Amino acid sequence: MKKTSFGAPFKSLNLSLRFVLPLAAALGLLAFAAVPLVDSLTLRWAVRDMDIRSRLIANTLHDPLLELLEQKNRGRINALLLRAIQDERLLALGYCDRAGKLLYRTPTFPESLGCASAGANTAGMGALLKLPQGAVHVAVHPVGVPGTDSGSLILVHDMSFVERRSEDTRVYIIAFFALLGVVVSVITVLVAHLSWRGWLQGVRAMLRGEGILKPFSQPAVASELQPLVGDLRTLLRALDDERRFADDSTITWSPDALRNLLHKQLTGERIIVVSNREPYIHTRKGERIEVHRPASGLVTAVEPVMRACSGTWIAHGSGTADMEASDRHDRVPVPPEHPEYTLRRIWLSKEEENGYYYGFANEGLWPLCHIAHVRPIFRSSDWEKYQAINQRFADAVVKEADSDNPVVLVQDYHFALLPGMIRAALPKATIITFWHIPWPNPESFGICPWREELLKGMLGSTILGFHTPFHRKNFLETVDRYLETRIEHESSTVTHNGKLTMVESYPISIQWPPPWQERQPTVEECRAGLRQELGAAPDHKVGIGVDRLDYTKGILERFRAVEKLLELHPELQGNFTFVQIAAPSRSALDDYQAFDAQVHNLALRINQRYSSGSWKPIVLKAEHHEPEVVNRYYRGADVCVVTSLHDGMNLVAKEFVASRDDEQGGLVLSQFTGAAHELHEALVVNPYHIEQTAQALHRAVNMPDLEQRERMRSMRALVRDFNVYRWAGRMLLDAARVRQREKLSARIRRDT
């Protein structure tokens, strides 16, 4: 037998009362407000009726009364007045002469009403008076020839019927609203129960996945539930993220953990990395060949992964001595002091570099994705070079692969076409593409003339990663706008031409601990060395900025904030110096040459305004610095300033945090960086708001040690736990899951 729930009727009653009680209260208030309004209207209508009746009676009595007055026939006058008051509503009549003396009246004429009080009314108009016998309507009408002195006829109407009518009206109104409340309550409860039943069925359907988990194979849910569908999808995404986080949170992410993951999950220990920028550059200095690492967030992040996993890094050989340092197969073992993987170099002619790198990639895609108020430029000749170079790198990947299913890590916007090209040559390959810069909204990306080709190329990836969920969402919306694909939001996958791509957010990070941690000077030594270099006192405040000379980094806005700081807080003049390390970048492009000049001119102007003696407020170091040197600047400064106008992540913020093992120092961080979504203890600013940035700088240099320690300790814990090995490991784990899913799908198709 089916069990009966005794709680169900009570739940139903509670649900009904939730609708009925507010409705009853609302109708009661409405009735309470309506009664005085109706009383007022009733009284107004009654007065108007009495005015009309008074004029009608006065006009009827005028001529016979005037004739009798001329005859001075008192008996007939009284008889005329008595006959007139036979109307139940006409209470009394009276006649006043022109001197205001009441000459004639009916016996019912009120004693308290005289000619003077009645004459206060204008002729032809009525008035309500409160007399001892009750409310009356009094009207005064002239009797005589117009234009001559004449008497007045006073008409008094009983208004008690108005009160009786008002009482009846109140009863009717209350009865009407009570009946209306009953009818509306019944209808509301009925509709509520039917709607509730429909909602429950819809929610149960959504919980089964209909219209959410399987939007293409199941009926869509009701339109009114569509907002809830979006919320549930978001919740499912969050739960899935938590599950994925739980899967890797038990792992201590290190180089050994990454190697074990490759061996167990992806049946291999070598990977192939493809990027435009090489991790080590060989340059000739006279008779010597020097090796240095470029100023690149990509290199900072990916190079430790390659050291951990070994394999081959394919990149453009751009150094003046790169060809000399490479063997006949264009390979060189790196790092030079202790080789752990192979660098394979691709050579480009000047024309190819101008078209593929400077042209399409950096005059087109870079400003398009950063939305930094520089107009993108697209040329067909650049697009042709971009296609050709992507194909050349794809051929190199095929040549370097030692199996038909290698693990390939494609880096950044220079190679949007490369995943599709590799997929065509190596269908079983695991291709992980990471987009290191922001992804714009669909409308902005639609500017690109070859948007469909770029999207199709990227969807050749097994895994496609972005820094933040916002950039991932923008990409999915862009694909949905411009390509015929199947997007499953709960698993964050895109199916295009039968190929599945998982699109996820993987916040990139840095190596932890830093490779030079054991040999770096102490914080005290770095502080003393930096102030000695600046010729400043030991307690001198120092800020640091580290960027490429790029218009997206907000260097001009940063300098203006320093200028505003000195203007608002003159006590810092002579006691604060801002050191800007700015490695030259893409200096062959006109926009970058113009930006370089702007940066130098602004620094010069501010220094000319505020410099005194040997002190300059801004020290601009527009040259390359090795990572270990930059680390010493981090450790010696009081505050690090990151004011990017738009950035995918920005690893400078994380490098500064990692360098401060003394748990001191302040971080001023742009809200338009991916890092701002993780480093919540930083002083987050809008870099376009110069005063706000200046005040954040002031707060940072004057922050108490205890507050610095609390903020820095929290940020260091995050950078430690979410290091670059975890970033790579999460992508590799997800790639392994996708490969497993594809194997199961292929087996099912084969069995059926």
pLDDT for residue 2: 43
**Would you say residue 646 has pLDDT above 60?**
yes
In the block, residue with structure tokens 């981090």:
634
Residue 95 · residue 151 · CB < 8 Å: yes
In the block, residue with structure tokens 């002729």:
123
Band (287; pLDDT cuts 50, 70, 90): confident
Residue 649 · residue 467 · CB < 8 Å: yes
Point out the domain boundary residue: 138, 166, 194.
166
pLDDT for residue 537: 95
Helix, strand, coil percentages, rounded to 5, for the chain: 50, 15, 30
Chain segment 581-630, per-residue pLDDT in tens:
999 988 889 999 999 999 999 999 999 999 998 999 999 999 989 889 99
Least confident stretch, 135-144, 249-258, 656-665, 706-715: 249-258
Instruction: Sort 3 into a burial class: Cβ within 10 Å, 0-12 / 13-18 / 19+.
Output: exposed
Identify whether 582 is part of a domain.
yes
pLDDT for residue 325: 93
pLDDT for residue 311: 92
| Secondary structure class of 114 (helix, strand, coil) | coil
**Would you say residue 679 has pLDDT above 90?**
yes
Residues 280-305, mean pLDDT to the nearest whole number? 86
Tell me: do 674 and 628 sit in the same domain: yes
Tell me: do 561 and 461 sit in the same domain: no
| Secondary structure class of 323 (helix, strand, coil) | helix
Residue 125 tokens, joined: 């108009």
pLDDT for residue 279: 93
Identify whether 510 is part of a domain.
no
Chain segment 427-449, per-residue pLDDT in tens:
999 999 999 999 999 999 999 99
Identify whether 729 is part of a domain.
no
| Secondary structure class of 130 (helix, strand, coil) | strand
**Would you say residue 562 has pLDDT above 60?**
yes
Angle (nearest 5°) at CA 485 between 482 and 490: 115
**Would you say residue 659 has pLDDT above 50?**
yes
- How far from 647 is each of 379, 470, 585, 652, CA to CA, in Å? 25, 12, 16, 11
Of all helices (H) and strands (E), which one includes residue 632?
A: helix 627-636
CATH of residue 157's domain is 3.30.450.20
Amino acid of residue 389 = I
Torsion of CA 11, 17, 22, 25, to 10 degrees: -160
Residue 110 · residue 136 · CB < 8 Å: yes
Q: Which residue has the higher pLDDT, 15 or 545?
A: 545
Chain segment 702-735, per-residue pLDDT in tens:
999 999 999 999 999 999 999 999 998 899 888 8
Identify whether 718 is part of a domain.
yes
Residue 8 tokens, joined: 């169900």
Instruction: Sort 484 into a burial class: Cβ within 10 Å, 0-12 / 13-18 / 19+.
Output: exposed
Taking alpha carbons only, the member of 466, 459, 465 closest to residue 495 is: 459
Taking alpha carbons only, the member of 271, 241, 309, 234 closest to residue 502 is: 241
- The C-alpha atoms of residue 512 and residue 714 are separated, in whole angstroms, by 15
Residue 71 tokens, joined: 């005859």
Torsion of CA 36, 39, 40, 41, to 10 degrees: 120
| Secondary structure class of 42 (helix, strand, coil) | helix
Band (78; pLDDT cuts 50, 70, 90): confident
Tell me: do 495 and 527 sit in the same domain: no
**Would you say residue 549 has pLDDT above 90?**
yes
Instruction: Assess whether the previous peptide bond of 513 is cis (omega < 30° from 0).
Output: yes
Tell me: do 461 and 322 sit in the same domain: yes
**Would you say residue 269 has pLDDT above 70?**
no
Tell me: do 588 and 463 sit in the same domain: no
Identify whether 54 is part of a domain.
yes
- The C-alpha atoms of residue 296 and residue 266 are separated, in whole angstroms, by 28
pLDDT for residue 567: 97
- The C-alpha atoms of residue 488 and residue 332 are separated, in whole angstroms, by 43
Q: What is the value of pTM for the model shown? A: 0.68
- The C-alpha atoms of residue 14 and residue 7 are separated, in whole angstroms, by 10
How many domains is the chain partitioned into structurally?
A: 3
Q: Which residue has the higher pLDDT, 58 or 441?
A: 441
pLDDT for residue 347: 97
Tell me: do 418 and 552 sit in the same domain: no
Q: HSE, CB side, 13 Å, CA atoms: give it for residue 295.
A: 21
Point out the domain boundary residue: 133, 166, 199.
166
- How far from 401 is each of 118, 312, 408, 425, 661, CA to CA, in Å? 116, 9, 9, 11, 41
Of all helices (H) and strands (E), which one includes residue 541?
A: strand 541-548
Tell me: do 329 and 361 sit in the same domain: yes
| Secondary structure class of 579 (helix, strand, coil) | strand
Tell me: do 442 and 528 sit in the same domain: no
Identify whether 701 is part of a domain.
yes
pLDDT for residue 176: 81
Highest mean pLDDT: which range of 14-23, 227-236, 643-652:
643-652
**Would you say residue 689 has pLDDT above 60?**
yes
- The C-alpha atoms of residue 109 and residue 92 are separated, in whole angstroms, by 5
Domain membership of residue 542 as a residue range: 523-722
Angle (nearest 5°) at CA 674 between 671 and 676: 45
Tell me: do 342 and 406 sit in the same domain: yes
Residue 527 · residue 635 · CB < 8 Å: yes
pLDDT for residue 365: 96
Tell me: do 533 and 463 sit in the same domain: no
Q: Which residue has the higher pLDDT, 267 or 646?
A: 646
With a CB cutoff of 8 Å and minimum separation 6, the contacts of 670 are: 554, 642, 643, 644, 645, 647, 650, 676, 684, 685, 686, 687
**Would you say residue 218 has pLDDT above 70?**
no
What DSSP string runs through 692-739?
Answer: HHHHHHHHHHT--HHHHHHHHHHHHHHHHHT-HHHHHHHHHHHHHHHH
Tell me: do 470 and 601 sit in the same domain: no
Least confident stretch, 104-108, 328-332, 443-447: 104-108
Amino acid of residue 52 = I
- How far from 712 is each of 637, 647, 657, 704, CA to CA, in Å? 14, 22, 7, 12
Residue 13 tokens, joined: 């009653």
Identify whether 265 is part of a domain.
no
Phi, psi of 660, deg, nearest 5: -95, 75
Taking alpha carbons only, the member of 303, 319, 317 closest to residue 271 is: 303
Chain segment 248-258, per-residue pLDDT in tens:
656 778 888 88
**Would you say residue 5 has pLDDT above 50?**
no
Taking alpha carbons only, the member of 308, 300, 409 closest to residue 719 is: 300
Least confident stretch, 80-94, 122-136, 308-322: 122-136
pLDDT for residue 119: 65
Point out the domain boundary residue: 470, 505, 540.
505
Residue 548 CB coordination number (10 Å):
19
Q: Which residue has the higher pLDDT, 449 or 285?
A: 449
- The per-residue b/e assignment along 579-600, b for 16 or more CB within 10 angstroms, e otherwise, is bbbbbebbeebebbeebbeebe
Mean pLDDT of all residues belonging to the chain: 86
CATH of residue 460's domain is 3.40.50.2000
Chain segment 476-505, per-residue pLDDT in tens:
999 999 999 999 988 889 999 988 999 999
Identify whether 664 is part of a domain.
yes
Tell me: do 539 and 477 sit in the same domain: no
Instruction: Sort 561 into a burial class: Cβ within 10 Å, 0-12 / 13-18 / 19+.
Output: buried
